[in-house]
């Protein structure tokens, strides 16, 4: 720092500017300021030198800031020209609107505090150490961007089949460290180095005419040299280098990239990233449309203020929590329990010894913050919203995921919220606002003998698969795929505006849930052997509020996880009366209770299907993990096991051995945990099996039961008995007609990255809740939802 100050004294220092916020000694790299600048404390950067950059900002007595200012660069020809009023409803023609995008000129300044002296950057008077630190700041990517890219390319890049034995020509080609240009045209961007002959050629032509001239693709078609690396993406660690395989038609990994580059004299240790990778470009291409549509970007939306229209400030990847809580506090049970019938003073008096740790107290506090309207008033800074820090601390206490700053699945948080509220209102069903969300699902299983079994369990949401074959726009899809294939052959890309997505009716998703399913390895007590049975599912009760989750995250080709690019046509009113289960019908014969042979029944314990385990193991996963994936999905299938495995890779006990002794497993179960699960409405034997499968952890056991609705059929021989009391007065029932009252949408490639937004029907109109921003919806993206919330219509 002293070195920097000494260098600053040698140059002319401009007068201090009053646009710098003197009361802030430390801010993050991506925090905008009112003057359009970004300020970064460089002390930590200087401390680590050129090779190690730490994003660790600390308050220092005399910090140094880098200011990045973005200003519009005026067109010299228009500088003194008055603006013309358009006379034609057209773009880019004489008399119409200008299609020219504004140009920006980015400048950099170093500011030294407390003198507030600034120095333009770059400057030859600065020490090399300072210049390198500033360059690191300018080139650094935000954590959110890194997280999105990590999710986008997760498990997607495979090692190329051509990498290990790639032949490289000894043609004497030496690639210079800069000044690259396409060998066949004048393009200097989007350049690809063929790793066989060292030719530098431009990439594909994009739909709007940008990009390259297809010379790299044409070179492969002529030579069949398979691999190329994008110049400008190669860095010292080779981590982000973009390698493309033409025969495999995908971005790939090249384990020998350092060796292949050195063949052409490339010293990658000194290279810096200057261009977007294919993954980055693909991410922007595929997400910008969704983000703009779901957030209604660019719409002239009317800001909303007052009771019920208070935004929640993002605490760092907390949008999943904000979207769920905005929906919850738009339902009558939550408004009544925590606002209308509960004052802050009364909640404080009824709380535990420490109100900051009381769930009901913090729910009441949040309710009054959102619903009172005191914190939703227009001011000069627009909508500010409230910061639910204490609420998050309490609701996520001791939870390894929700207590972190990572993005989470909104459905997982919804289920976690149910558990916390149930615990806080234990035994008081009338006060529990989630009582109206619970319903009973009934499964009917028929084995080849013709005999049947019935079992039930309670649920709080329906998880619906999306049958793409039921799309209503199949002709448009076929035409689009033909067009896309033709453009791919020409080396062109389809624009986001031209993309045609499948449109699947919600009715088809509901029909898929209640349709017939095969149950392999079902043990029939009538046949005294394993067989394949047929299962149908229905709802024994209809809740006051029905929550539907759209299962958009599936396994694609090559068992690569992907998000379905699909629209769901959701009507405002639905009638699911036809989904009501009928129970045991006259003439039906129930399966016998217990084994017919009279042999002693072996204590029930989860057993993994070896076919599923071997399939997952062949893909490179740990054998124990594969077993747990099969067990925790009730051996439903490889795809279900893969989905479970990918979402539980970070579980602390994922590699713990599975006990094969059911007696031993039984002895490790805490009876208090069993009683806790029973209090949630689960059958005792189901609770015990869930605790066995989850190592005794109540939260994971609860998730296990939710993810294994057929668990009771494999646990108890008493298959004809109901697991939930029909006369339970706290499980509501009524009409099957519902009205859509809210939905939560997700943007991004995974539920653990991206962004969540809620749309809620309030006061007869739809409102969008985007963290702290609340506005009237202009273009409702109802077909892009992830969670849909319906309210029963009174008969």
Catalytic residue positions, numbered: 319, 755
Q: Quick one: CA torsion of 288, 290, 292, 295, rounded to 10 degrees?
A: -140
- What is the token pair recorded at 43? 């002390």
- Hey, which residues does 7 pair with through a beta bridge? none
Comparing CA positions, the residue from 679, 723, 725, 724 lying closest to residue 702 is: 679
Q: How far is CA 777 from CA 370, 515, 780, in A?
A: 19, 36, 6
525 exposed, middle or buried (CB, 10 Å; 0-12, 13-18, 19+)? Answer: buried
Comparing CA positions, the residue from 529, 522, 538 lying closest to residue 446 is: 522
Q: Quick one: CA torsion of 619, 620, 621, 623, rounded to 10 degrees?
A: 100
At what angle are helices 684-693 and 623-632 packed, to 10 degrees? Answer: 160
- What is the token pair recorded at 348? 């404080």
Helix residue ranges, H only, 563-622:
610-617
- Hey, which residues does 229 pair with through a beta bridge? 193, 243
Contacts of 129 (CB under 8 A, 6+ apart): 3, 46, 49, 50
- What is the token pair recorded at 556? 């694609």
* Locus of tokens 């140009």: 103
Contacts of 669 (CB under 8 A, 6+ apart): 688, 691, 692, 696
Comparing CA positions, the residue from 292, 339, 410 lying closest to residue 786 is: 410
- What is the token pair recorded at 533? 């049975």
Secondary structure (DSSP) of 397-456? TT-TTTTSSS---HHHHHHHHHHHHHHHTTT-TTT-GGGGG-EEEEEEEE-TTS-EEEEE
Secondary structure (DSSP) of 259-292? HHHHTTT--GGG----S--HHHHHHHHHHHHHHH
DSSP strand pairing (250-253 vs 243-245):
antiparallel
CA–centroid distance for 634 within its chain: 25
User: How many other C-beta atoms are found inside a 10 Å radius of the C-beta of residue 440?
Assistant: 24
Comparing CA positions, the residue from 234, 247, 312, 316 lying closest to residue 275 is: 234
Distance CA 6, CA 62 (A): 14
Query: Reduced to 3 states, what is the DSSP secondary structure of residue 688?
Result: helix
Q: Which helix (H) or strand (E) holds 237?
A: none
CB contact burial 600-625 (16+ within 10 A = b; e otherwise):
eeeebbbebbeebbebbbeeebeebb
Q: Are 348 and 737 within 8 A, CB to CB?
A: no
Q: How far is CA 63 from CA 1, 4, 66, 792, in A?
A: 9, 11, 10, 59
- What is the token pair recorded at 534? 């047929």
- What is the token pair recorded at 337? 């329990």
- List strand residue ranges (DSSP E) for 122-179, in order: 158-159
Q: How far is CA 662 from CA 295, 607, 626, in A?
A: 51, 11, 20
Contacts of 208 (CB under 8 A, 6+ apart): 495
């Amino acid at each position: 720092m002293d070195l920097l100050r000494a260098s600053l004294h040698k140059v002319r220092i401009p007068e201090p500017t009053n646009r710098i916020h003197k009361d802030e000694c430390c801010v993050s790299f991506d925090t905008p300021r009112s003057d359009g600048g970004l300020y970064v404390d460089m002390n930590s950067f200087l401390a680590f030198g050129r090779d190690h950059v730490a994003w660790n900002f600390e308050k220092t007595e005399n910090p140094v800031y880098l200011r990045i200012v973005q200003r519009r660069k005026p067109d010299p020809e228009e500088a003194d020209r008055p603006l013309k009023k358009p006379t034609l409803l057209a773009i880019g023609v004489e008399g119409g609107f200008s299609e020219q995008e504004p140009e920006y000129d980015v400048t950099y300044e170093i500011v030294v505090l407390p003198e507030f002296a600034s120095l333009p950057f770059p400057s030859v008077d600065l020490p090399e150490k300072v210049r390198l630190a500033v360059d690191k700041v300018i080139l650094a990517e935000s954590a959110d961007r890194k997280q999105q890219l990590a999710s986008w390319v997760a498990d997607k890049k495979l090692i190329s089949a051509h990498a290990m034995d790639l032949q490289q020509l000894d043609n004497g080609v030496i690639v210079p460290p800069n000044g690259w240009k396409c060998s066949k045209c004048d393009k200097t961007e989007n350049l690809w180095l063929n790793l066989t002959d060292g030719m530098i050629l431009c990439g594909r032509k994009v739909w709007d005419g940008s990009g390259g001239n297809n010379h790299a693709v044409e070179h492969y078609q002529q030579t069949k040299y398979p691999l190329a690396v994008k110049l400008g993406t190669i860095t010292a660690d080779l981590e982000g280098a973009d390698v493309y395989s033409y025969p495999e038609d995908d971005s790939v990994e090249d384990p020998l990239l350092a060796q292949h580059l050195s063949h052409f004299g490339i010293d990658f240790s000194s290279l810096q990233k200057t261009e977007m990778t294919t993954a980055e470009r693909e991410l922007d291409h595929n997400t910008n449309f969704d983000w703009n549509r779901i957030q209604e970007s660019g719409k002239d939306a009317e800001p909303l203020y007052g009771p019920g229209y208070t935004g929640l400030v993002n605490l760092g990847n907390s949008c999943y929590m904000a979207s769920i809580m905005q929906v919850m506090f738009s339902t009558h049970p939550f408004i009544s329990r925590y606002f209308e019938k509960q004052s802050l003073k009364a909640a404080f008096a009824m709380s535990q010894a420490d109100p900051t740790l009381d769930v009901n107290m913090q729910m009441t506090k949040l309710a009054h913050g959102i619903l009172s309207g005191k914190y939703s008033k227009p001011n000069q800074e627009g909508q500010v919203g409230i910061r639910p820090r204490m609420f998050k601390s309490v609701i996520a206490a001791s939870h390894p995921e929700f207590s972190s700053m990572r993005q989470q699945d909104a459905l997982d948080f919804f289920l976690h919220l149910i558990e916390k509220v149930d615990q806080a209102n234990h035994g008081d069903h009338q006060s529990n606002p989630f009582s109206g969300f619970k319903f009973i699902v009934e499964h009917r299983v028929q084995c080849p003998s013709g005999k049947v079994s019935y079992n039930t369990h309670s649920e709080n949401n329906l998880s619906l698969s999306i049958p793409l074959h039921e799309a209503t726009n199949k002709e448009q899809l076929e035409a689009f795929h033909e067009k896309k294939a033709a453009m791919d052959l020409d080396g062109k890309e389809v624009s986001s505006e031209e993309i045609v997505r499948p449109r699947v009716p919600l009715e088809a998703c509901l029909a898929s849930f209640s349709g017939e399913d095969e149950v392999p390895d079902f043990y029939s007590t009538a046949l005294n052997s394993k067989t394949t049975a047929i299962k149908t599912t229905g709802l024994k009760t209809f809740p006051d509020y029905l929550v539907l989750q759209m299962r958009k995250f599936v396994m694609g080709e090559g068992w690569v996880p992907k998000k379905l690019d699909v629209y769901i046509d959701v009507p405002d009113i639905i009638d699911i009366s036809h989904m009501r289960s009928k129970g045991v019908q006259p003439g039906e014969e129930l399966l016998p209770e217990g084994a017919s042979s009279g042999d002693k029944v072996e204590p029930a314990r989860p057993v993994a299907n070896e076919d599923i385990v071997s399939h997952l193991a062949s893909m490179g996963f740990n054998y124990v993990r594969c077993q747990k994936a099969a067990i925790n999905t009730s051996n439903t299938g490889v795809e279900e096991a893969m989905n479970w495995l990918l979402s539980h890779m970070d579980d602390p006990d994922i590699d713990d051995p599975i006990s094969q002794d059911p007696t031993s497993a039984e002895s490790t179960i805490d009876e208090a945990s069993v009683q806790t699960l029973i209090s949630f409405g689960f059958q005792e034997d189901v609770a015990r099996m869930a605790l066995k499968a989850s190592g005794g952890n109540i939260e994971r056991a609860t998730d296990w039961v939710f993810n294994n609705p057929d668990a009771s059929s494999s646990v108890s021989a008493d298959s004809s008995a109901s697991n939930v009391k029909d006369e339970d007065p706290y499980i509501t029932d009524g009409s099957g007609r519902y009205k859509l009252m809210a939905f939560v949408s997700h943007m991004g490639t995974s539920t653990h990255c991206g962004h969540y937004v809620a749309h809620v029907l309030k006061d007869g109109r739809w409102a969008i809740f985007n963290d702290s921003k609340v506005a009237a919806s202009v273009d409702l993206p109802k077909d892009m939802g992830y969670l849909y919330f319906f309210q029963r219509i009174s008969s």
